[in-house]
Structures are given as C-alpha cells and as structure tokens.
A = this chain, B = another copy of it.
C-alpha cells in the first residue's frame, strides 16, 4: 500500500559548513511553512526518507525529534509522523509578497522620541576646530586609566559579576560626594548620589518622575535642546524662559513643576547666574512645589577664580537636583554621569533606575572610583583648567585681532565653549553652513532656540584645539565672514 504521505521532497543542496541535521531541519521547516507539505500531511518513514536523501536513519530521526519539539511535527506510534494538523500557515507567510509598504505607526511619544537632536550615526572622528562640547581627548591620561583598568579587571571576584545596587557602586558614590562637598560646597552624602549613564538618562527620569501632562517645565531659551525635548515627552507644557548675559531671567517665571538651568555656564549664551537669581528661582520652586534641575555640565572649568559653589549649595528644602557628567570632565565614551538628588527623591529615583535599566556597568564605575580616590581626577581637572584657560585666552585674543566687527566674543570665564555674537539680523545657520564648507565647525545659536527671540551667533569649542590650530581656524574664518557679512 502506498502511504498517504509518500512524497519525495526536493531539498536544496546543503551549504558547506552546515551539519546534515541542521540542513534537514531547515529544509523541512521551509517545506512546511511554504505549504509544500500541507498541515496534517504525513512524512515518509525515517527509513524511506533516509534512503531518499542518502543520509543515515539516525539523522532523520534526530531531525524529526527536533521538529516535534518545535511543534512542526506530531509523531504518533503506529501512524508515523505528520505535520501538525491545524498549523496556521497563513497566505501572508506562505507566499512571497514583500512587506507592506506602510510600517507600523509609532505612538505620539514615539514620534517625539524619534526626533532626537543628536546625530543617530555619530562616528568616531577627530574633532575639528571649533566643534563644541568636546573635552581634549588627546590630553586624557590613557596610560593611567589603562593601569587602573587592568588592575581592576585582574582583581574582580566572581561575586562582583552579579547584579548590584541600582544607584551605583557605593565606592564611586562616596568619592563623588566627597568631591562635591569640597568643590561645589554641596552638603550631600553618598546616599544622595545616583550613578547614571548620562545626563540624558537623568533628565529623562526627572521628567517622568515629576511631570504630568499639562504641567509646566521651564527651560532656558535659548537653551539645551536635549532637555526640552525630554520634558516634552511627558506631555508637559515647555516654557522657554528668556535668557540674558546673567542666565535665565527670574523676573517673570511662569508656573511649573520643574525648571532646568545651566546656572554655572548658560548653554549657549555663556552667562553665570548670580546669587540673586538663584535665590529667586529657589523661592519660585518652593512656592510651586517644583524641582530645579541644575545641569553643571562644564562649570568645574572656571578660569578667573575658584569654581562657583553650585546652586545646590543654597538648597535647604530639597528643591534642587544637581547633575554632573564625566563626559565633559573626562571623556564621553565613558558614559557615566551622576545626579545628586534631594533626600525625598532618593528612593523613587533608585526605583525608577532599577525598573528602566537596573544599573550601570560596574566595571567602569570601579575604575573611575579608583581614578578619583587616587588623586588622578583632581590632577586632571587642575591640568585641564590651566590648559583650557590658556586656550580660552588665545581664542579671545585671536578673535579680537582677526574678527573685530564681525564677531563679538564675551570674556570667557567658564567651560569648553565660547559664544560669539554675529551682527544683528544675520542668519547664523547660513554662517555655520558657509564655515562648514571651509572646514570650520561651529553651531548656530538658532539650534538652541525654542520660543523666545535669540541673537544670531556661533557656539564654538576652543578646549580641544592647540593654540596654533585656534589661530589658524580664526584666520580662516575671516574671509568667509567678510564675504557673508560685509
């Protein structure tokens, strides 16, 4: 009697490097999914199939068992091996139509998330004058880091490889708290320090922990777009608050639950917020039951005196979250930053971290803790403060000598970047595009604009370029600016 399933399957040739069984399973799956063996169809006996395909019976048996485990085949004693009867081999899977043209839609939030201000294909390239927000990577003590890193990886115990506290390595948190108590006069303990992968991650959590739809979120305008975009995700109403040479203006603050300020070095206009505005903003937060996020991305680099104490040092009622990042102080690829959160926010923040990421890589945290504890961090900051100060002076001087009347640079007191104002009514995006054609990288103030008018100008990094490169770069700008603005 001829068996119902007496089919002789034409199988594709076995590719090199693929085992017989793997090949056989793959061919059978494809035959079932494409409908060449119909649901319910009976397969040849292992003996027959082995003979047809010229393989051993054991190989066929193992393939059948694998496909039974995967639910393609059902084996019943006596009646042989069948394709599972009701297998839903739907036409869309059985034919070869291409995917539908319209991809699934994103959520409202998803469309906002997909509109990131950061490059999605940022490559590893050497920074060119005057690309902003770049510490001098050449100056980082890689040999020291290697030594600490190697020592750390050599001494890791098995118990160090498991899950750890969401808030981070206790040694690193203690080292950061000690540094901040001294350098920023922030009265905090290690418990207040939350280790995150980046300032962005901390801002994202702040927005989600604090903002309901319709709540006010105050940002500097012009200001850092990476913060405003995240606050908008919560459905909050983002208020762009005007900025002048002394940072965010505090004379007419709208209501809100969160305010974001770069008090030490306003991004992008460069001002330092004086104490009267700091106190006014703190009083606003108290009256509004709001949180202030103080993003101190490069305030440790203060050239004309000691770094100013953080606004957080004035915070008596747990209204300020202080944010720092090692991306600017050490190097971006490290991906470690920290938030000093008020006592009442410690548990919610740690819980939110545990739910959305568990915790950061322990390895780099351990190396960084040693780097701080053994004095390398303080030494590096000291050296970079000196170096960046010299470059700031060279940059200012070159601008005055070469670009007077074209570009107006305020005295640089802080940070990695200078802001240079263009003549009123010029188009800073066009200037940036023209400079880029001559190999000069700058960023327009327009990039930072939200709702308020902003003066046209360029944000220019000086910190990662030597003085000759700075002078050459500034000299190269002159003909371009003269042509555009003349």
Residues of A within 8 A of B (CB): 21-22, 25-26, 29, 33, 62, 65-66, 69-72, 84, 86-90, 92-93, 99-100, 103-110, 113-127, 134, 137-138, 140, 142, 145-146, 149-150, 153-154, 156, 158-167, 185, 197-198, 200-201, 204-205, 208-212, 215, 226, 229-230, 233-234, 246, 257, 272-280, 282-283, 286, 289-291, 304-306, 308-309, 314, 316-319, 327, 331-336, 342, 344-345, 347-348, 350-352, 354-364, 413
**Most chain B Cβ neighbours within 10 Å, of A33, A69, A309:** A69
How many Å from the CB of A200 to the closest CB on chain B?
6
Q: How far is the CB of A477 from chain B (nearest CB, A)?
A: 23
Most B CB atoms within 10 A — which of A125, A333, A357?
A333
Are B318 and A125 in contact, CB atoms less than 8 angstroms apart?
no
Copy tally for this chain in the complex stands at: 2
A33 with B314: CB separation less than 8 A: yes
Say whether B137 contacts A161, CB under 8 Å.
Answer: yes
Determine if A149 and B146 form an interchain contact, defined as CB atoms under 8 angstroms apart: no
Which single residue of chain B is at the shortest CB-CB distance from A286?
B92
Question: Does B279 lie within 8 Å of A93, measured CB to CB?
Answer: yes
A350 near B305: Cβ-Cβ < 8 Å? no
- What chain B residues lie within 8 Å of A92 (beta carbons)? 283, 286, 316-317
Q: A69-B305, A109-B234 are in contact. Are A361 and B348 (CB under 8 A)?
A: no
Cross-chain contact A70 with B164 (CB below 8 angstroms): no
Knowing A275-B70, A357-B200, A364-B361, say if A318 contacts B87 (CB, 8 Å). no
**Complex Cα gap A22–B161 (Å):** 43
Knowing A105-B289, A114-B347 touch, does A154 contact B146 (C-beta < 8 A)? yes
Which residues of B are found within 8 Å of A22, using beta-carbon distances?
306
Question: In the complex, how many angstroms separate the beta carbon of A411 from the nearest chain B beta carbon?
Answer: 11
Inter-subunit contact B154/A355 (CB<8 Å): no
B334 with A361: CB separation less than 8 A: yes
CB of A333 within 8 A of CB of B138, answer no
